[in-house]
Amino acid sequence: IADAIEDRQSEIIEIECRNTGKPISLTTSEEVPPMVDQIRFFAGAARNLEGKSAGEYMPGMTSMIRREPIGVIGQVTPWNYPMMMAVWKWAPAIAAGNTVVLKPSDTTPASTLFMAQVMSEFLPAGVFNVICGERETGKLLVDHTTPVMVSITGSVRAGMEIAASAAPDLKRVHLELGGKAPVIVYDDCDFEKTVQGVAEANLYNAGQDCAAGTRVIVQEGIAKEFTAALAKKVAEFKFGSPENDDHFYGALNSQNQLDRVQGFIDRLPSHAEILTGGKAQRLNGGYYFEPTLIAGLKQDDEMIQTEVFASVQTIQTFKDEAQAIQMANDVDFGLAASIWSENHGKVIRTSQDLDFGQVWVNCHLVQAAEMPNGGFKHSGHGNDLSTEAIEGYTRVKHVMSLTGR
């Protein structure tokens, strides 16, 4: 399957970019190669699952542990990374021996359907199934008695609804539900590299990323200089049609998403200051939002506490490590965070205290197939990627045999 998708990557890239508005150049370099690598990783990892060794834990008895497929898995994927999130769902589930019924977002189903067509050349009928539809279709999938596990990447509201729907049947639930990632910038960071990295941390994919670096928290000693430099850098990023290689990001998903983002701007309190951007634009039929940086917000303001999911970044200041950690953790989300500093001890201390499932140091939005991706608190539970994902799609069986000794 990985080879076939790689061979036909020009087709799936064209489909994905037409469906989402993503830049073709970034999709070609940043999405398809990792996606193919992830499929190959799961193919190999399925042959190397670990467990306790068989042994005698009671006289005359030998025990062993089996990891078995769970059965039919219902999965729901989002519109921000349609093809890659589909891979994060079906690859570990099928590698573990399960069958899958997957519902893509109603606004971006095309690349998942193409993938299913490619996969049908290699998988027995019924192993990978795709159904299309809106929210009601997803609800019917979750409510149905056949799936024994449900996995979703989506909003907190959707996750809570699915958890409630799964409860009567005691279905297993894997939830990846978004975030509000803090970006902690200490005064001993590499200034220029940090400015560039922090800007990209939120603008990649038009900010439509659960782990996007939306909340910049910078130390007071460099706050004025860093804020000015970041505002200048953010304003330099270009956006627009997928065909132009100079465009760093493309359109928002829909008119609904654009209206939602505009609502956050319209509701900004009087003490907020838009340093750059802040406006919607319609280009060639697409829904775009300018690269935006906002200062002056307080910790309990809506834009600090709520996921915007757009090219909108906020910046706050802190005095010391303790306050940085307190501000970073003071949200309902716990998916991802990043720390920017040249002090190793400070980085280790901060990473230990951050209440997030993934912490980057002097980088952001970097993923390895071998490492887990999952969150805490309202960001959900369970992991995508790594052997943790495969194990999450298995059940553990203890087999005990009388040996007669």
Name every residue whose Cβ is closer than 8 Å to that of residue 319 and which is 6 or more positions away in sequence.
Answer: 219, 220
pLDDT of residue 370: 96
In this predicted model, what pLDDT tens digit does every residue of 240-261 receive, in sequence order? 999 999 999 999 999 999 999 9
**What is the C-alpha to C-alpha distance for residues 353 and 306, in angstroms, rounded to an integer?**
22
pLDDT of residue 227: 98
The average confidence (pLDDT) of the chain is 96
Tokens 């149905």 appear where?
A: 144
**What is the C-alpha to C-alpha distance for residues 110 and 121, in angstroms, rounded to an integer?**
18
**What is the C-alpha to C-alpha distance for residues 235 and 261, in angstroms, rounded to an integer?**
18
51 pLDDT more than 80: no
Residue 75 in contact with residue 90, Cβ under 8 Å? yes
pLDDT tier, 50 (very low <50, low <70, confident <90, very high otherwise): confident
**What is the C-alpha to C-alpha distance for residues 200 and 390, in angstroms, rounded to an integer?**
31
- How many CB atoms are located within 10 Å of the residue 81 CB? 24
Name every residue whose Cβ is closer than 8 Å to that of residue 289 and which is 6 or more positions away in sequence.
Answer: 206, 252, 258, 261, 277, 279, 280, 281, 310, 311, 312
In this predicted model, what pLDDT tens digit does every residue of 301-330 receive, in sequence order? 999 999 999 999 999 999 999 999 999 999
In this predicted model, what pLDDT tens digit does every residue of 354-403 receive, in sequence order? 999 999 999 999 999 999 999 999 999 999 999 999 999 999 999 999 99
Q: Which of 16, 17, 189, 210 is catalytic?
A: 210
Residue 211 in contact with residue 307, Cβ under 8 Å? no
Relative to beta strand 149-153, strand 72-76 is: parallel
191 pLDDT more than 80: yes
pLDDT tier, 49 (very low <50, low <70, confident <90, very high otherwise): confident
In this predicted model, what pLDDT tens digit does every residue of 129-167 receive, in sequence order? 999 999 999 999 999 999 999 999 999 999 999 999 999
pLDDT of residue 354: 98
Among 161, 159, 126, 162, residue whose Cα is nearest residue 142: 162
Average pLDDT of the residues in 203-221: 97
DSSP 361-395: ES--S---TTS-B--EETTEES-BSHHHHHHHTEE
Can you read off the two tokens belonging to residue 308? 């915007």
Tokens 């912490």 appear where?
A: 359
pLDDT tier, 53 (very low <50, low <70, confident <90, very high otherwise): confident
- Residue 176 is among the residues annotated as catalytic for this protein: yes
3-state secondary structure of 159: helix
Q: Which of 176, 200, 307, 391 is catalytic?
A: 176
Q: Which amino acid is at 44?
A: G
Q: What Å distances lie between residue 156 and 289, 375, 381, CA to CA?
A: 23, 12, 12
Average pLDDT of the residues in 206-234: 98
pLDDT of residue 64: 94
Q: What Å distances lie between residue 277 and 25, 81, 145, 239, 289, CA to CA?
A: 24, 25, 48, 12, 8
291 pLDDT more than 90: yes
Q: What are phi and psi of 396, to 5 degrees?
A: -105, 125
**What is the C-alpha to C-alpha distance for residues 182 and 374, in angstroms, rounded to an integer?**
16
In this predicted model, what pLDDT tens digit does every residue of 265-279 receive, in sequence order? 999 999 999 999 999
17 pLDDT more than 90: yes
Average pLDDT of the residues in 55-71: 93
What angle (nearest 5°) sits at the alpha carbon of residue 218, between those of residues 216 and 223? Answer: 120
pLDDT of residue 272: 98
Residue 55 bridge partners (DSSP)? 63
Can you read off the two tokens belonging to residue 373? 């991706």
**What is the C-alpha to C-alpha distance for residues 127 and 400, in angstroms, rounded to an integer?**
31
Quote the distance between the C-alpha of residue 344 and its chain's center.
27
Among 242, 238, 240, 278, residue whose Cα is nearest residue 261: 278
pLDDT of residue 298: 98
